[in-house]
Structure 1
C-alpha cells in the first residue's frame, strides 16, 4: 500500500493544486463535481451524480457492509487581500484530495470482495445543509460505517499527529428582524428605538446562565439599523446571532432562551421581532467501534507515538447529521495535525501538505480493516 501511495503522491499534488485554485462556494460546486467525475470515468467504479444537487458518490466493491468516506467539496466566500472571492480556507481542498487518493489507492491495490466502499463528495458543508440534502437523496440509507476527516489548527494538534475522532460542538445561526416605525429624534416616546432594542438584546444574551461545565457561547455577530439622517430614530433593524454548544441538549436550551428574550423585548417595546434559523449544525455523535478502527489504522500507519486522544473542539461540522438522521451508522472523523496556521477560516490559511499521503494511508487502512472485521 505504501508503495502505491508514494507513486500517487506527485499526482495528488497536481489534484490538490487544481482544487485549491478552483474553489466554488456552497451549492455552486459544478466544476468541482465535474472534475472529480472526470478523474474516475475511465476507472472500474460506479459513479453517481445527482440531478437536483452538486456533488456525487463513487462506489467500488460489492455487497455488505457498506463502508463510506466523506469529503466536503465547497469553499468559503470571504475577503482575500482586499477582494471577496471563493476561498478554500477550511481545508476542503485537502479533504477532497485525501479521499481521491484513498479511492485511487484502493483501485490500484484491489477492491473488497465482500464489502462496498462508498466515496461521498458532499456539497455545502459550510452552509450546514449539504449532509441533510444527501440524507434526503438516500446517500446514507445503505451505509453501515462512515468516516470523515478534518485538518486541525496547530493549537489543537501538532504536525504529523492524528486523533481517531473529533468531538465537534453544535452551531446554529439565527437571523432576526425588528419591525417598527421610525420617529423624529426629538420625540423618542413615539417609537421603539431599534438600536436600543438591539442593545438590550445583547445584554440579555450576555445574561443567559447555562451549566458552565458544558462549553457554550452566544453572541450577536451583525446588527444593521438607521440611515444617513441622524435625526431619525430607526424602528427597523436586522441582526444575526451565532450560537455554539458542545452538546445538542445545551444548544436547544440556548435557542429556547433566545426565543424567550425576543418575545419579551417585542412585548415590552410593542414591536415585531421575527427570527429564523440559518445553518444548524449538530454536535458530534461518534461510535466506539469506528473510533477503535481509526485508532488502529493510525497506529499501524504512522506509529503509536503519533496517535493522540479524541479531540474536543467548539467548531462544528454537518458530517454528524448522517448519524443523527441514520442512528444505525457507526461513524468517526480523523483529526489531522498539519501545522495549520494562522487558523481555520483565515483568508491566508496554510498547512503542511506532507500529511496528505499519510492521511490517505490511514483512511485506506481504516476502510480495509472495517471490511475485514465485518466479514
Structure 2
C-alpha cells in the first residue's frame, strides 16, 4: 500500500482547505471510496462524510479531521496542512481499505471525516448529524512532535488540555491628552487586567495558563487618550475542573476592575474545547495494538497542553469509550509551524495500529458477550 498511501497524502497535502470549506476534499475522498465499492454518506449540513464497513455490534468509529490552517508560507498566504490532518485522513482511509481486504467483520467500523477541528467546534456539528449516536467505541489519531514522542513510539492516549478564548471590550470615552483626569485610559485598564490575571493561583500539580493575546486601543492621534479598547485572552488548563476556576477568575477580575475604574468591561467566552476524558478500556485495547504492531511497549498516556475538539464527542455522548492514538512521527519544528515536516513512514504504522485496534475491539467485545 505504500505507493497509494503516499499518492493520497500528496494530493490531500497539495489541495488543503480551511475550516468549513473542505468541499473539494470531501468530493475527492467520497469519489475514492465509491470507486473502491464503499457507500459513503455525505453530511447534510456541513462538509465531510462518513463511510462504514461490516455490520452489527460493536460499532466502532474512526475520526479523521480534514481542515487546514491559513498561514503565510514562502511569502504567500494559503491553506496549509501544518497540523497533520492530511496524514490523519490518509491513515483512516488506509484502515478502511485494509478492513475491506480482510473481508467479513463481525462488527461495524465507521470512518468519520470531520470538518473544522481547528476552530474547535467541528465535532459539535458532526454530533448534530447523528452519526455517532449508535457508536460504542471511538478512536482518533494525531501525529506528535519529536520532543514529545520519537518515531516509531506511540501512546495509547493523549491527555489534551482544555482551551477557552475570551473577547473583551472596555467601553469608556476618549478625552484630551492634556486632561487625563477627565476620563479613564483604557490602556491602563488593560494593563491592570494583565497584572491581576498574573496573580492567578491554581494547584501547581495541574498545568494552567491565562494570558492576553490581543489588544486594540487608540488611534493615529497621539493626543487622544483612548476610552475604548478591545482585548483577547487565551485560557488553557489540563482539566475541565481547573478551566472552570480560570473562567471564574477572569470574570471576577473584570467585574472588580470595572467597579474600580467606573467603566463598563464586557467579556464573551467562546470556542471552548474541553480537556480529554480517556476511556480506560479503549486505551487498553490501543496499548495492546501498539505493542503487537511495533513489538515494543506502548506509552500509556501523554500529557500535552494542546487542545482538540475530538473530546466533545465523549462530553456530549458519555457512553462512548474513546481514546486517541498518539502517533510518534518526529514532527519538526512543531505542530502549526508553517514549515512543519514529519516522518511519512509513521502513516503506515498508524494504519496498522488502528486496523489492529478495530479488529481487537471486535474480538474482545464478542469474547465478553460470550462470557456474559
Shorter chain as normaliser: what TM range?
A: over 0.9
Distance between the aligned counterparts of 2:104 and 2:274, measured in 1? 33
Contact kept, 8 Å, 2:33 with 2:39, in 1: the verdict is no
1:365 is aligned, of 353, 356, 359, to: 356
Where structure 2 has 5 or more consecutive residues not aligned to the other structure, the ranges are 367-372
Q: Residues 111 and 199 (structure 1 numbering): CA distance in 2 closer, same or farther, change over 3 Å?
A: farther
Contact kept, 8 Å, 1:44 with 1:60, in 2: the verdict is no
2:269 is aligned, of 254, 273, 277, to: 277
Q: Report the CA distance between 1:208 and its aligned residue.
A: 0.9
Q: Deviations over 1:173-229 (max 9, x none)?
A: 111111221111011122211111111111111111111111111100111111110
1:24 is aligned, of 17, 37, 55, to: 17
* Match runs of 1:210-221 below 5 Å: 210-221=202-213
1:255 is aligned to 247
2:142 is aligned, of 150, 156, 161, to: 150
* Match runs of 1:123-202 below 5 Å: 123-202=115-194
1:91 is aligned to 84
* Equivalent pairs, count: 366
Q: Report the CA distance between 1:42 and its aligned residue.
A: 2.8
1:5 is aligned to none
Q: Report the CA distance between 1:61 and its aligned residue.
A: 1.0
Instruction: Give the TM-score taking structure 2 as reference length.
Output: 0.96
Distance between the aligned counterparts of 1:121 and 1:82, measured in 2? 31
Structure 1 runs of 4+ with >6 Å offset = none
Question: Does structure 1 residue 322 correspond to structure 2 residue 346?
Answer: no
Q: Report the CA distance between 1:111 and its aligned residue.
A: 4.1
1:117 is aligned to 109
1:3 is aligned to none
2:100 is aligned to 107
| Secondary structure at the counterpart of residue 40 of structure 2 | strand
CA RMSD of aligned residues (A): 1.1
| Secondary structure at the counterpart of residue 242 of structure 2 | helix
2:42 is aligned to 49
Distance between the aligned counterparts of 1:271 and 1:84, measured in 2? 39
Q: Report the CA distance between 1:278 and its aligned residue.
A: 2.6
1:289 is aligned, of 263, 281, 291, to: 281
Contact kept, 8 Å, 2:44 with 2:129, in 1: the verdict is no
Distance between the aligned counterparts of 1:190 and 1:132, measured in 2? 48
Contact kept, 8 Å, 2:210 with 2:236, in 1: the verdict is yes
Question: Does structure 1 residue 311 correspond to structure 2 residue 302?
Answer: yes
| Secondary structure at the counterpart of residue 71 of structure 1 | strand
Distance between the aligned counterparts of 2:68 and 2:51, measured in 1? 21
Where structure 1 has 5 or more consecutive residues not aligned to the other structure, the ranges are 1-7
